[in-house]
Every structure is written in structure tokens, then in C-alpha cells.
Amino acid sequence: MGASLDQAALAVPAVEPGAIIVLGAEARNGPDGPDVGPLTLERLRCAAVLQRVTGLPLLVTGGPPGPDVAPLALAMRATLENDFAVPVRWVEPTARNTRDNLQLAAAILGRDGVRGAYLVTHAWHMPRAQREAVRFGLPVVPAMVGCQRRPDGRPTDLLPHADDLATSRFALREWTGLAVAAIGL
């Protein structure tokens, strides 16, 4: 998603969104300790734009990326508040995976009477994330990051790109996640 918000992301679902959920992706080592990684930063940028357009409160979710490491959600909140000047209302710091992200987010929002939300994650992750939101009774509207340009006949469309290797990795991870969810693990 660019600097502007795709108007399709603002479609009104059966339940009006009352919040924005941002799923953590990965952390990296920053100069002051754990920090958000590039994928998480893309999601935070999208969430900041969406928050400014809608005025809805934000929930960030992401647990510790390793033992004795601060939760990713804390770095996400710091980035949104300090770098994007966007307030964060809820911080969920314990989720270990997508299922935890949505289960815990649904519980937090439910306690505050929020019955639906925009969900910010990457396009390649959205099908699994939406499935988990539905599992926990939380209607969501996708606010996808990283929608790629469709081939339009340029000669370069036929050439392999290094970025496509990363996309393949993400696709394999998501297919594995969907398979695990399908068998109920």
C-alpha cells in the first residue's frame, strides 16, 4: 500500500469496524535493543494511514521474538507513537503466532464492546489471518499491505526477480499454516 489508503480497504462489512488490529511480523536488533523489522514496519505504516483516515483506535499484537526479549507489540507501539504520531489504545504482548494474535485480539476487543475491526497484515498472510479471526468470532475487513503489481505485458514481467524468492518463502509458510489450521493443530 502506498501513502494513500486503497478505498477498497474501507468497504463496510456486516459489522462496522470499531478498531484496527495490526499483526506483528518480525523483529530485528535495533540500536536500542529489539525493534520492528521491515515487514512489521510496512504494516505499521498502513495502520497509521488507516487510523488517520478512520479515526479508529489501534490494537497491536505480537509476543516476544525469543527468550528474554521484549515483546514485539511494545516495539510496534513505540514506532506508531514516536515515528508516526499515532496513538495505540491496546497492546497484546504475548501472542506467539497468528492464531494467538487473533484469539487474544478478539478477547481484548470483545471486553471493550468492539464487534468488528480492520485487520492489517500482508496480502500473502491475509487468508490465514482472516480464517483465524472468523474462528474467534471477530468479523474483519482486510487492510492489506504489499499487493503487488499485476503483470501488464512488459518484457521485464518475464524475468525472475530476487524479491520473488522471498514471496515464495512467504507463500510456503502460509500454505503450511493453513494446512496446520485445517487439521486442528
pLDDT of residue 4: 45
pLDDT: which is higher, 102 or 162: 102
Q: Which residue has the higher pLDDT, 178 or 72?
A: 72
Residue 40, all three cell numbers: 512489521
- The verdict on residue 37 lying in a domain is yes
Q: Smallest Cα–Cα separation from 100: which of 21, 13, 42? A: 21
Residues 4-16: pLDDT tens digits? Answer: 454 444 444 577 9
In a domain, 34, yes or no: yes
Mean pLDDT on 46-50: 97
Residue pair 25/122 in contact by the 8 Å Cβ criterion: yes
pTM of the complete model:
0.77
Distance CA 161, CA 61 (A): 32
Number of H helices, E strands in the chain: 5, 7
CA angle at 128 for the pair 169 and 53, rounded to the nearest 5° = 100
Other CB atoms closer than 10 Å to residue 112's CB: what's the count?
A: 12
Q: Does 23 fall in a domain?
A: yes
117: alpha, beta or left, given left = phi > 0 and alpha = psi -120 to 50? beta
Report the greatest alpha carbon distance in the chain: 53
- CATH of residue 16's domain is 3.40.50.620
In a domain, 103, yes or no: yes
Does the residue 113 lie in any domain? yes
**Number of domains composing the chain:** 1
In a domain, 161, yes or no: no
Range of the domain at 98: 7-149
Is 165 contained in some domain?
no
At 128 the pLDDT is: 93
- Say if 169 falls within a structural domain: no
